[in-house]
Amino acid sequence: MLAQRRDSLHDRAHINKGKIMHPQRTPRFSFDFHGSSLDTIFDDYQTMHNQCPVSWSEHYGGFWTLTRMEDIRVAEHDWDTFSVAPSMILPSFGTDRPLIPLDIDPPELTGYRQILLPFFTPKRMDALLPRTHEIANDLLDDVANQDVFDASVYSRMVPAMVFGEYCGFPMQDAAQFDQWVEDIVFARTDDETIARAAAADVYDYFRDLIAQRRRDPGEDVISALLQADNRGQKLTDDEMLDICYLLFVAGLETTAGTIRVALWHLAQEPEALAALVADPSRIPKATEEFLRALSPVQAMARTLKVDTTIGGVAMKAGERVVLAFGAANRDPEVFECPHDIQLDRSSNPHIAFGAGAHRCLGSNLARREVNVALQEFIARYPKFELAEPTTWHGVGRLAIRPIL
Ligand code: HEM
């Protein structure tokens, strides 16, 4: 496969949307981490770990891919070399505006994190647990007694409702949010114009919502952020908008993807499902393994501020570098049998939530949402299977048939 990919790269190496590429960049591997490329991504990781742990890909204007845990940790902690500007998201989420705090380097990052962290402490997130159980149960009631139902709705709506209510996103617009997330996160690699149109709508929506909360504050995150103090200054409307946009795209789809992939796996592994049903206290450990082995955030980008060498490969200032978290999470130097999904894995130092200054702010929330969603689902359906074949990734239907 490597040889074939190298050939195809050789043919296309010089032209990408009219831009001169970097034919001299080597080693090369035509790595992609979106769309149908996810079908074979775990095979790609294996090949790259064995043959070219640091390599050049021609996709999205060209980037270096780091696949080893050690290299990615170095890049995560060295923001003077590996900047998050202009954006960690490759290709963009339909916008050229920075996502705050994701696309901001230290030291400016620190102020934003200080403002946001109090909203995501374990204690604050524990307080959301009763409502999370209630929402999960209500959603399961909606599909009760159906022979086959689409569990992707459950996967998406648990985090959308829990986080949406907490942030103060009007939940009567949930169906619209769902469509925007799909257009921004998933459609962008096929047709950037869809993502750009959706992003413009989301910014308009939040502009109005922020103005409304300024006039009439509530008990929600948006209202509280409007009062927050960033080194003696209130957040501007633009900063508020860029924070809301990130919370919107980061808070909904990632957790939805994790619930979905866990149900997808359990539907095909009756023994693993039976073990969790028999002892639900094993769910949190299983969640960590789903995050490690099948994380919905497979990779994020940095841009080199200066020339550097990593993994023995020389790179130039201005080049993009993709940190393949999904590959690090299957690094054979770190994990035994990395390609096996072991729900009771004892040592699991994965980086599904990143690792450095930008480590995910929502991990306390995400873990709780996934745990509760799984707990309620398997309590209601101790046996179930896939009613239609489905890939591990994706946004479409996840048809589940309960076994009575
Ligand atoms: C399973 C679910 C989730 C996964 C796998 C995930 C993953 C990630 C990753 C990989 C990063 C970048 C870290 C880095 O570059 O080192 C990140 C950043 C972030 N995530 Fe999550 N995330 C999840 C859920 C959430 C939720 C529910 C929220 C809700 C608020 C959230 C908010 C954020 C924010 C605000 C950042 C930016 C942090 C910064 O730049 O300082 N995430 N997440």
Confidence band, pLDDT 50/70/90 cuts, at residue 251: confident
Q: Tell me, yes or no, if the pTM score tops 0.85.
A: yes
10 Å CB burial of residue 73 (0-12, 13-18, 19+) is middle
Structural domain for 384, as ranges: 2-402
In this structure, what CATH number is given to the domain that contains residue 195? 1.10.630.10
Look at the chain and report how many structural domains it folds into: 1
Q: Which residue has the higher pLDDT, 83 or 22?
A: 83
Backbone phi, then psi, for 310, in 5-degree steps?
A: -140, 135
Res. 16: pLDDT tops 70: no
Measured in Å, residue 47 CA sits from the centre of ligand 1 at 28
Which tokens hold the place of 2?
A: 């490597």
Q: Which residues line ligand 1 (CB under 6 A)?
A: 76, 88, 101-102, 113, 163, 246-247, 250-251, 254-255, 258, 295-297, 300, 325, 352-356, 358-362, 365-366
pLDDT in tens, 85-105: 999 999 988 899 999 999 999
To test ligand 1's pocket by mutation, which of 78, 121, 360 has the most ligand atoms within 8 angstroms of CB?
Answer: 360
pLDDT in tens, 323-350: 999 999 999 999 999 999 999 999 999 9
How many other C-beta atoms lie within 10 A of the C-beta of residue 14? 12
Ligand 1, residue 354: give the atom nearest the CA.
16
Residue nearest (by alpha carbon) to ligand 1 atom 39:
358
Output b/e per residue, 194-230; b: 16+ Cβ within 10 A: bbbbbbebbbebbeebbeebeeeeeebbbbbbeebeb
Confidence band, pLDDT 50/70/90 cuts, at residue 24: low
To test ligand 1's pocket by mutation, which of 76, 353, 370, 372 has the most ligand atoms within 8 angstroms of CB?
Answer: 353
Ligand 1, residue 112: give the atom nearest the CA.
41
Q: What is the pLDDT of residue 286?
A: 98
Q: What is the pLDDT of residue 7?
A: 33
Crossing angle of helices 237-268 and 270-278, in 10° steps, is 110
Measured in Å, residue 366 CA sits from the centre of ligand 1 at 9
Res. 2: pLDDT tops 80: no
Measured in Å, residue 243 CA sits from the centre of ligand 1 at 13
Residue nearest (by alpha carbon) to ligand 1 atom 19:
360
pLDDT in tens, 209-250: 999 999 999 989 999 999 998 888 999 999 999 999 999 988
Percent of the chain with pLDDT over 90: 82
Confidence band, pLDDT 50/70/90 cuts, at residue 26: confident
